[in-house]
Structure formats: structure tokens, C-alpha cells
Amino acid sequence: MDSGLDIDQATITGFSTGDEKAFQQVFDLLFRPLCFFAGKFTGQKEEAEDAVSQAFHKLWIHRAGFNALPAIRTFLYTTVKNHCLDLLKHKAVVDHAHHNIRISQLNADSFAESRMMQAQLLQVIFAEIEHLPAHYRDVLMLSFVEELSVAEIAARINKSENHVRADRSRGLALLRASLKNKKLLEAALLLWTLYEQGYFHR
């Protein structure tokens, strides 16, 4: 059983021999969790995306050395983590002009492991939103992705604000419930299906 998602072996083989399409599949799969992870260090969207694009660049350089998704994932998270720590270190150097600001590596690592776990869990959780009953899903997506206020959503779907609020809460509760009786492997397959359907694409 793998952690949330998998890619078929043919894709991995294509990946390591430099097939750009296969490489892009890996990118699409891991892009959001990695950005989210990087964002926990940088606190800043563009820096997080920078860290991730650079990690994928490194992965591209070393692509021939990988033959399984878990190794690719560990490599990417590690690279993003190191990049972010370097970034923070440079900021510290710059801010304090040569006084040694030490980012505790110990804390950084425990922090990184926590956030990596969070990113991977969120990926399974958020993938499930697609499977909610339509109106719950719509309320959630309008609310979080399009960032509409409760009033705006109410106007858009022609319902009362209280109704929208209730649906939003209920949508999240349903989300959890719908994952309840799924084994993780199923969730993984589901995620893969969604991915294939283009849910994670741009």
C-alpha cells in the first residue's frame, strides 16, 4: 500500500528515461502538496513555488536514478526542505549581517516531518471534495477556491445566507464521513482517478 497515490510503473520508466509527459504527470501529482509544504517554511506563495520548481529541476537532472514514486517523493520533499532552510538562513544572514543566526536543524526536521505528513493527508482529503453531493461541493469550492463571501454565494446559488453557512459546515462534515469507510488504498485509487480526469490539472 502506498501513501495516498501511486503512478504506474510504465510512467516511472518513462520518467527516468526523460519522457517529458511522464515527468509532467509526476509534477502534477506532487505539485500542490509540495507547494503547501514549502509555504509552511516561506510563508509566501511565490517563494514556495520557486522552491518547488527548483526541486523539480533537480529531479529532472537526477531523473535517471529513480525507479519508484516513494523515492521521488522523498527526494522532492528533502530538496524543497533544504532549499527553504537555505533561504531562511540567507535571510537571517542578511538581516543580521554576519551574526550567526542558527536555525536549529533539529527543530527544522521535526517541523518538516510534521508538515510533510500534513501535506500528504490534505491531498487525500481535498481530493474527496469532488465526490461530495453536488451542492455541498459547489458551496465548498465557491467559498474556498473562488473566495466568495457567504452573502455572495447565497446570491449566486439563490439561497439564504444561513443556508449557505449550514451547507458549508455540513459539507466539511460529509467530507470526513465520506472518507470514513474508505480504506486508504481506495482513497489512493480515487485520487489517481481524479488525477487522470484532470482534477489536479491547471
Partner 1 sequence: MAAAFFRIGRFYFYMQPKFSFNEALYQVLYKHWSGQPLLPAEQVMFEAWIAEPDNAAVWEELNDEFLLQQQLKEWQSYDAQATWQQFLQLRDEATPVKKPFISRQLFRWSAAAAVFAGIAIGSYVYFQPTSTPTNTTVTQVADVLPGSSKAMLILDDGSTIDLDTAHNQVIQQGSSAAQLQGGSLHYQNNVNSHTIAYNTLKTPRGGQFQLTLPDGSLVWLNAASSIRFPTSFQNAERVVDVTGEVYFEVAQNVNKPFRVNVNKQARVEVLGTSFNIHAYDDAPNMQTTLLAGSVKVSAGVHTALLRPGQQAQLGTGNMRINKNVDIAKVMAWKNGLFDFQDASLQDVMLQLSRWYDVEIEFRGAIPATEFWGKMGRNLTLMQVLKGLEGSGVHFKLENNGKKLIVLPS
Which residues inside 121-150 make contact with partner 1, applying CB under 8 A?
A: 121-122, 124-126, 129, 140, 143-145, 147
Size of the site for partner 1 (CB under 8 A): 79
Contacts of partner 1 in 70-99 (CB under 8 A): 70, 73-74, 77-78, 81-82, 85-86, 89-90, 93-94, 97-98
Q: For residues 27-50, b (16+ Cβ closer than 10 Å) or e, as one string? A: bebbbebbbbbbbbbbeeeebbbb
Q: Which of residues 31-60 bind partner 1 (CB under 8 A)?
A: 31-32, 35-36, 39, 45, 48-50, 52-54, 56-57, 60
Is the Cβ–Cβ distance between 133 and 173 less than 8 Å?
no
105-125 burial by CB neighbour count: b if 16+ within 10 A, else e? eeebeeebeebbeebbeebbe
Closest approach, Cβ 130 to partner 1, in A, equals 12
Residue 140 Cα distances to 8, 90, 135, 144, 151, angstroms = 31, 39, 9, 6, 14
Nearer to partner 1, 2 or 196 (CB): 2
| Contact residues for 17 (Cβ-Cβ < 8 A; gap 6+) | 64
Find the shortest distance in angstroms from Cβ 158 to partner 1: 22
Nearer to partner 1, 155 or 184 (CB): 184
Nearest approach, Cβ of residue 38 and partner 1 (Å): 9
63 lies in the binding site for partner 1 (CB under 8 A): no
Shortest separation between residue 33's beta carbon and partner 1, angstroms: 9
Q: How far is the CB of 34 from partner 1 (least distance, A)?
A: 9
